[in-house]
Amino acid sequence: MKVLNNVKAVSEALEVAMEKWDDVVVYGEDAGYEGGVFRATEGLQAKFGEKRCFDAPISEAVFAGVAIGMAVNKMKPVVELQFEGLGWPSLQNILGHMGRMRNRTRGKYPTPVVIRMPMGGGIRALELHSEAMEAMYAHTPGIKVVCPSTPYDTKGLILAAIESPDPVIVFEPTKLYRAFKQEVPEGFYTVEIGKAFKIQEGNDLTVVTYGAQTVDCQKAIDELEEKNPDVTIELIDLRSIQPWDKEMIFESVKKTGRLLVVHEAIRSFSVSAEIIASVNEECFEYLKAPSMRCTGYDIVIPFDSGEAYHQPHPKKILVKMEEILNYKF
Amino acid sequence: MKFIGKFDPLKDEVVRIMDKNGKIIDEKLVPKMTDKELIDAYSLMNLSRRQDDFQNKAQRQGRLLSFLSSTGQEASEIGYTLPLIKGKDWFSSGYRNNAAWLSVGMPMRNIMLYWMGNEYGGQSPKGVNSLPPNIIIGSQFSHATGIAFAEKYRGTGGVAVTTTGDGGMSEGETYEAMNFAKIHELPVIFICENNKWAISTPYKKSTKSLNIAVKGIATGMPSIKVDGNDLLAVYAVAKEAVEHARSGKGPVFIECDTYRLGAHSSSDNPDIYRPKAEFEEALKSDPLIRMKKYLIDKKIWTDKKQEALDKKQDEFIRAEFDWAEANKSYELEDVFNFQFAEKTPDLEKQYKEAKEFFAKYPEVAKGGHH
């Protein structure tokens, strides 16, 4: 076992993958010599050489497109986008080709590319450095989307993504890169894509979240449970956004009868919209209150001075949980 | 090197081996090709032209959705694909590449299926490394670069060829891909078929560059302009470029100076925007006529042989079309089966839901509700 934070878990995953598979290459802006702005790829070039870990020119469209060509020609590229919001030029290739190539060649040329990107706010960054647009990627057919929140899941999900025969986007919550450490097994292991993780059991309310909000939710739940010792909350870390673990969430909602979904991404057409719609379809007669959500608003992510208005906060989550628990038909 | 580095795009020099009447201008530049190779190349040009004509008629009858013809570009497309080794080298196409697809080994029936709206047409058969038609302009340059990266990385010796039009050179990604390829000295040939029109936007409104070839120079790669209606010139230059790339010297950019004789697509009418005089002038450089004159002068071709070839090819085209038309529909499974390596549980559920629905209401699957 090693004790790692999230960003070190990324490096560890990439190192293990590069040792395991000769055809894994890692690149992105500054990802080579310096190891990226967050140092997620630190040490990889020194260990594996410039052939396998290198700096890409600042041209996101091309390095997503090149990854598609590499994957068509049977390599396993792992691309680092410096920040999610700086990756918009790559959408042309991610949405227009990466998700479609398997289908348009009827399976002949799958594109098992992995694209990693730091996401989310709370890091006092500049404009376009705090985006959370995971729903847009999850909405795109042919692409899988994961968002780990712990070092164990980070390493396991990145390795699962690289092993996957399908393209996978890995969202890494920037705020959690160095937030805490955890024991992580050495060597190769995977966390299955599509499986959620139950952080704690409870009977009265199911809270579903992912990314940096797992920490906010835990804080809110601790406070609520302390105030109300007879109330217990079930907290689920989604981990995998597309596909997502319907089974675990439906089972939990059927038990608790109440659902809150929490994320920092903007509200409309979001991951919470999808989960709540699905719960309505599958668990309607079990519900004791309307399913609710605590999310960012439908606004351009505010600069640092206004960011607190937008981000879910333990207090906001707490208020929302109480609203559901106190709901009367 | 006979061409690369010898013909300077900054002086707007153009490689041309035969004139408009098929007469050789410079014997020293003529590539070594056997009579059979010459006739085979010409036959492919002829086949593609006749397929274009056939498809135009079929489209007007509503038997084809829409397609983009290569008429006028056959010398270019055949010229730059001939030096490729089947099963080893790669072709990352644009959407106007009929002659090139035939040349790299895409079965005509697949091409037809694609334009009939069936994704199986985009699947190259075993032993043919060709990506499907690319509707998103410019990204094929990136894909070719990635493919070439993998060839160099593994040392497998393959070369990738990719192509776009003069309009496609306005896309940032074309430059980005060339820049990336040159940084890594990748075995990839970038082609621009400058056919003078990006739908209705004329070349003169697409760029103020001296020519397109100079756009490659900024990346540091050898760049060259060639008469794209001269099969011998395109083939000779492309062959040299492929050898250059295969030997590890990095990418090459080639501008093929040509002309789109047909419409942009079967839904487009160039009479609205294309000056008649310009079109009539362009007809005088028709690559097919030029090549035919060359073969006749060489005494390896006759009008009688032409007649027999046309007949044989028309029969072939008809048979391929009939096959494609009879096989253009597919099963419900096919729309679900290729999203992921394995269907996700949710997709499996959606598939079952659709299956039950269409079993009950089969008429909905036939469409026709518009």
**Are residue A145 and residue A251 in the same domain, yes or no?**
no
Q: What is the 3-class SS of B168-233, one letter each residue? A: HHHCHHHHHHHHHHHHCCCCEEEEEEECCEECCEEHHHHCCCCCCCHHHHCCCCCEEEEECCCHHH
pLDDT at A170 over 90: yes
Please judge whether B136 and A96 are an interchain contact, meaning their C-beta atoms are less than 8 angstroms apart.
Answer: yes
Question: What CATH number matches the domain at B9-326, 3.40.50.720, 3.40.50.880, 3.40.50.970, 2.40.110.20?
Answer: 3.40.50.970
Backbone angles phi, psi at B116, to 5 degrees: -85, -5
Chain B residues close to A103, C-beta within 8 Å: 119, 338-339
Contact (CB<8Å) A104/B132: yes
Whether A35 and A143 share a structural domain: yes
Cβ-proximal residues to B336 (8 Å cutoff; 6+ apart), any chain: B343, B347, B350, B351, B354
Interface of A with B in 172-231 (CB under 8 A): 194
| B124: phi then psi, degrees, rounded to nearest 5 | -75, 145
Residues A133-167: pLDDT tens digits?
999 999 999 999 999 999 999 999 999 999 999 99
A18 and A139 co-located in one domain: yes
- Asked whether the predicted pLDDT for residue B267 surpasses 90, the reply is no
Average pLDDT over residues A258-287: 98
Minimum CA–CA partner of B129 in chain A: A73
Does B143 sit within 8 Å of A69, measured CB to CB? yes
Mean pLDDT for the stretch of residues A14-34: 97
- CB-CB neighbors (< 8 A) of A105 in chain B: 119, 122-124, 131-132
Residue A109 pLDDT exceeds 90 = yes
- The answer to whether A57 faces chain B, any CB pair under 8 Å, is yes
Q: Give start and end residues of each alpha helix (H) in chain A.
A: 6-20, 44-48, 60-72, 91-93, 101-104, 134-138, 151-163, 213-227, 246-256, 271-283, 304-310, 314-325
Is the same domain home to A180 and A209?
Answer: no
Domain match, A160 and A202 both: no
Q: Is residue A189 part of a domain?
A: no
Residue owning tokens 């730091």: A118
Catalytic amino acids of A? 129
Contacts of residue A128, Cβ cutoff 8 Å, sequence gap at least 6 = A83, A85, A86
Catalytic residues of B: 260, 264, 273
Enclosing H/E stretch for A173:
strand A168-173
CATH code of the domain containing A155? 3.40.50.970
Q: Does the pLDDT of residue B60 top 60, yes or no?
A: yes
Contact criterion met (CB < 8 Å) for A72 and B123: no
Residue at A314 is within a domain: yes
Collapsing DSSP states into helix, strand and coil, what is residue B370? coil
Q: Does A104 contact B at CB distance below 8 Å?
A: yes
Q: Does A232 touch chain B (CB under 8 A)?
A: no
Which residue of chain B comes nearest to A61, CA vs CA? B173
pLDDT for res B10: 98
Contact call for A65 and B153, based on CB within 8 A: no
Do A215 and A87 fall within a single domain?
no
H or E stretch covering B110? helix B108-115
Mean pLDDT (whole number) for B143-164: 98
Q: Is residue A90 part of a domain?
A: yes
A309 found inside a domain = yes
pLDDT digits (tens, 9 = 90+) for B287-330: 999 999 999 999 999 999 999 999 999 999 999 999 999 999 98
Q: Which of B153, B160, B338 sits opposite A107 (nearest CB)?
A: B338
Query: Contacts by A276-279 with C-beta closer than 8 Å and gap 24+?
Result: A278/A246, A278/A249, A278/A250, A279/A249, A279/A250, A279/A253
Q: Cβ A59–B180 below 8 Å, yes or no?
A: yes
d(CA B187, nearest CA chain A) in Å: 13
User: For residue range A31-40, what is the model confidence (pLDDT) as tens digits?
Assistant: 999 999 999 9
Q: Which residue of B has its CA nearest to A54?
A: B184
- Residue at which a domain ends, from A158, A184, A210: A184
Residue A118 region by backbone torsions, left for phi larger than 0, else alpha for psi between -120 and 50, else beta: beta
CB B338 to CB A61 under 8 A? no
How far apart CA A125 and CA A123 sit, in angstroms, is 5
SS3 A221: helix
Q: Is residue B367 predicted with pLDDT exceeding 80?
A: no
Q: Do B147 and A70 touch (CB under 8 A)?
A: yes
Residues of B with CB under 8 A from a CB of A: 90, 92, 119-120, 122-124, 131-132, 136, 139, 141-151, 153-154, 160, 172-173, 176-177, 179-180, 183, 334, 337-341, 344-347
Evaluate whether residue A192 is within a structural domain: no
Residue contact A73–B124, C-beta within 8 A: no
Q: Does A27 touch chain B (CB under 8 A)?
A: no
Domain boundary among A184, A207, A224: A184
Amino acid at the residue B20: K
Q: For residue B368, what pLDDT is reported?
A: 57
For residue A24, report the phi and psi dihedrals to the nearest 5 degrees.
Answer: -85, 125
Shortest Cα distance from A230 to chain B (angstroms)? 36
Looking at the fold, whether A29 and A156 belong to one and the same domain comes out as yes
Quick: pLDDT tens for B216-266: 999 999 999 999 999 999 999 999 999 999 999 999 999 999 999 999 998
Domain membership flag for residue A65: yes
CA B268, CA B138: separation in Å to the nearest integer? 21
Confidence of residue B365 (pLDDT cuts 50, 70, 90): confident
- Per-residue pLDDT tens over the stretch B28-57: 999 999 999 999 999 999 999 999 999 999
User: Do B339 and A63 count as a contact with CB atoms less than 8 A apart?
Assistant: no
Residues recorded for chain A: 329
Residues A41 and A141 in one domain: yes
Q: What's the structural domain count of chain A?
A: 2
Q: What is the mean pLDDT of chain A?
A: 97
The answer on A247 and A135 residing in a single domain is no
- Write down which residue in A149, A184, A219 finishes a domain: A184
Query: What angle (nearest 5°) sits at the alpha carbon of residue B170, between those of residues A167 and B238?
Result: 80
β-strands A233-237, A197-200 pairing: antiparallel
| Mean pLDDT value across residues A19-43 | 96
Which contiguous run of DSSP H or E holds residue B277? helix B276-283
Q: Are residues A169 and A280 in the same domain?
A: no
Distance from CA of A144 to the nearest CA of B (A): 9
Chains A, B: CB contacts within 8 A come to: 138
Q: Which of A23, A62, A246 sits opposite B177 (nearest CB)?
A: A62
What is the rounded distance in angstroms from the CA atom of residue A170 to the CA atom of residue A257?
Answer: 31
pLDDT of residue A41: 97
Search chain B and give the residue with CA nearest A96.
B136
Which residues in chain A are closer than 8 Å to B137, comparing Cβ atoms? none
Q: Any CB–CB contact under 8 A between A91 and chain B?
A: no
Residues of the domain holding A49: 2-184
Mean per-residue pLDDT, B87-98 = 97
**Alpha-carbon distance B362 to nearest alpha carbon in chain A (angstroms):** 24
User: Could you tell me which chain A residue has the CA closest to the CA of B153?
Assistant: A51
**Omega cis (within 30) before B132:** no
Domain co-membership, A226 together with A298: yes
A312-322: average pLDDT: 97
What is the pTM (predicted TM-score) of this model?
0.95
Residues A178 and A204 in one domain: no
| Chain A residues touching residue B136 (CB < 8 angstroms) | 92, 96-97
- Planar angle of CA B9, B14, B16, nearest 5 degrees: 160
Residue of B nearest to A144 (CA): B340
Q: What separation in angstroms does the CA of A47 have from each of A240, B24, B363?
A: 30, 57, 61
Q: What percent of chain A has pLDDT over 70?
A: 100
The CA distance from B111 to B249, in Å, is 34
Going by the DSSP 8-state scheme, the letter that residue B15 receives in this structure is: B
Token readout for B210 is 């001296």
The pLDDT value recorded for residue A110 is: 98
